[in-house]
Structures are given as C-alpha cells and as structure tokens.
Amino acid sequence: DFVLAAYCSWSDGSTRKYEDGHWGGTCKQKTPGNISSVHPELSAVSDPYGKHPTLGTCALASAGNHMVGMIANGSLVMARDHGKPYTAILSHYYHDISIVKEY
C-alpha cells in the first residue's frame, strides 16, 4: 500500500490529522484525538523542530501551511542539527508506516 505523503513548510509546534488540516488557508480548531480516520498515516504529532519562530496558527494557515504530514523545516532541523536518518524523520511525521525499497 502507498500513503498520502502531505507536507508543508512550517507548523505551530504540532502537526494536524488530515481532518483538521488548514486546507485552503482556513484556520480551524483541532478536533478530539490524534489519529486520522480518513488517512491514518496523516495523524497529529508533536513538532517542536518545525515550529515557526514568530507566526501563530492562523497566520501560518493563511500563508498556506496546512500543517498536515511532514513539516519541511522540522525535518531539516531533525536531519541537520540532530543527525536523524530519513527513516526516523518519515516515521515521526507519518503514523504507522513501513519504509520499503520498491525498485
């Protein structure tokens, strides 16, 4: 099986499950629970490394950050500053996945 690998630039310190994404620049409230019922791989996780230094949730959403899936700046900090391998980064941002070579 393949997963929907959504990504964006920044978060506000946590990612959103698919249903709570700030799609289309809308600023939404989180709903209860962290696991997505639509795309389980796109579940909410803590994201201290991807937190924007100055912008809050609604400002990030209006700038196009849906905060679902992998956060580009968070993954960069995890790799560059903390030496995390790509498998650890992908497993952090995408819930309950298996990484396999297909070719």
pLDDT 10s digit of each residue in the chain, 103 long? 788 999 999 999 999 999 999 999 999 999 999 999 999 999 999 999 999 999 999 999 999 999 999 999 999 999 999 999 999 999 999 999 999 988 8
Contacts of 45 (CB under 8 A, 6+ apart): 14, 15, 34, 92, 93, 95
| Within a domain: 53 | yes
What is the pLDDT, as a whole number, of residue 64? 94
| Within a domain: 45 | yes
Query: Residue 15's domain spans which residues?
Result: 7-93
| Within a domain: 2 | no
| Within a domain: 100 | no
Q: CA-to-CA distance for 34 and 44, rounded, in angstroms?
A: 5
| Within a domain: 33 | yes
**Which alpha helices (H) appear in the chain, and where do they start and end?**
57-62, 72-82, 86-93
What is the pLDDT, as a whole number, of residue 101? 86
SS3 46: strand
Where do the DSSP E strands lie in the chain?
7-8, 70-71
What is the pLDDT, as a whole number, of residue 5? 94
What is the pLDDT, as a whole number, of residue 93? 98
| Within a domain: 23 | yes
What is the pLDDT, as a whole number, of residue 8? 97
What is the pLDDT, as a whole number, of residue 92? 97
Instruction: Write down the pTM of the prediction.
Output: 0.92
Q: How many domains does the chain have?
A: 1
SS3 7: strand
| Within a domain: 99 | no
Q: Tokens 């298996």 appear where?
A: 98
| Within a domain: 12 | yes
What is the pLDDT, as a whole number, of residue 47? 98
